[in-house]
Structure 1
Amino acid sequence: MGKPVKGRPRTASRVAAVQALFQSEQSGETVETIVDQFIRHRLGEIPGSGGFEEGRVPDADVKLFSRIVRRAVQEQDMLDKLVADALPAEWPFTRLDPVLRALLRAAGAELGMSDGPPARVVLNEYLDVAHGFFTGDEPRMVNGLLDHMARTLRGAEFQVVGNPAA
């Protein structure tokens, strides 16, 4: 994974959330165990280090990270169904790469936050995160799935305002 740009704590939080959700799915550990491990061992800089050694995310906003991860786990069934409904019938949700599943869950969790940033900001941020994790066609798939999720969870933000043509 490419390094998040220094000075972008919200982006760093999103990267860390994807990593934590991936780890949680792979290890089967509880969300609180994973959040605690990340806060204690992966977020923040070790004094005298360059910052990103061994999977560290030095600039992450811990509050946002924790909120995304906890909400993604709490809403996982709904978020997984939302993604599954957008996939072709011959492509079951479980066929998605586990990092991709984690990314979509994190993005869906943030899109579900009524007090979060505008949907288009969330889409752009997670598309950037996808480009950091994947070099193939996955970011294009992420774009389509995130668009579906955003329009489902925050449809009002996508409605055209103005006079309809007569």
Structure 2
Amino acid sequence: MTQSGDNDRPPVRQANKRGAARLAAVQALYQMDVAGSGVFEITAEYEAFRLGKEVDGALYREADAQWFRAILAGVVENQKTVDPIIRQALTEDWPLSRLDSTLRAILRAGVYELMKREDVPVAVIVSEYVDIAKAFYEEDEPKLVNAVLDRVSRRVRGEGRGKDAS
């Protein structure tokens, strides 16, 4: 069953769907952190009511639901490994607890992908999460995301390819 008008829209490229999935995963991780919600509850909520849907007059972009689930579940399952890697990549005067929930969510998702999604180039991962940071922040946070993910990529993949976040 197709909705009327579906054929009028150009097909969404897979890369765009993955980018939307990354953004949704960051938002879901934030919601889990702030509200204390569980991964199954959040996954069900996003798939039923947010991904590709209109919420409060705003249209969520169509997202790769499988990619969304993989990032969300992967961060939760690997958080005891992910968080220490982030801590090591931060300077000593920036403990993980000092970062706000949105920034923690961005870094956790990015580090998870660098660790576990070796099929995705480092430059793509870093660029996507720097762009997500730019959607939430105007100051130095995108540069911090770039620096942390670049350091992590060197450590876990032996390569770095950050994006100019200016």
TM-score (norm 2): 0.81
Is 1:23 matched up with 2:31?
A: yes
What residue number does 2:122 align with? 119
User: Is the CA contact (8 Å cut-off) linking 1:42 and 1:55 kept in structure 2?
Assistant: no
Please list every run of 5 or more consecutive structure 2 residues that lacks an aligned counterpart in the other structure: 1-10, 161-166
Shift of 1:94: 0.4
CA RMSD of aligned residues (A): 2.0
Cα offsets for 1:100-159 (capped at 9, x unmatched): 00000111111122453111111111111111111111111111001011112211x45x
Map 1:9-158 → 2, pairs under 5 A: 9-45=17-53, 51=54, 53=56, 57-155=60-158, 157-158=159-160
User: Is the CA contact (8 Å cut-off) linking 2:25 and 2:72 kept in structure 1?
Assistant: yes
The amino acid that maps onto 1:85 is Q
In the alignment of these two chains, the number of paired residues is 148
User: Is the CA contact (8 Å cut-off) linking 2:25 and 2:71 kept in structure 1?
Assistant: yes
Shift of 1:53: 4.5
Quote the sequence identity (%). Answer: 38
Shift of 1:58: 2.8
Shift of 1:52: 6.5
- Spell out structure 1 runs of 4+ moving beyond 4 A: 51-56
Cα offsets for 1:67-119 (capped at 9, x unmatched): 00100111112111111112222221100011000000111111122453111
The amino acid that maps onto 1:144 is A
User: Is the CA contact (8 Å cut-off) linking 1:35 and 1:66 kept in structure 2?
Assistant: yes
User: Is the CA contact (8 Å cut-off) linking 2:49 and 2:55 kept in structure 1?
Assistant: no
Shift of 1:54: 5.5
Partner Cα distance (1:84, 1:18) in 2 = 18
> Which is further off, 122-131 or 109-118?
109-118
Cα offsets for 1:15-39 (capped at 9, x unmatched): 0000000001111111111111111
What residue number does 2:7 align with? none
Cα offsets for 1:26-62 (capped at 9, x unmatched): 11111111111111111123xxxxx564665231110
Please list every run of 5 or more consecutive structure 1 residues that lacks an aligned counterpart in the other structure: 1-5, 46-50, 159-166
The amino acid that maps onto 1:34 is I
Partner Cα distance (2:49, 2:68) in 1 = 14
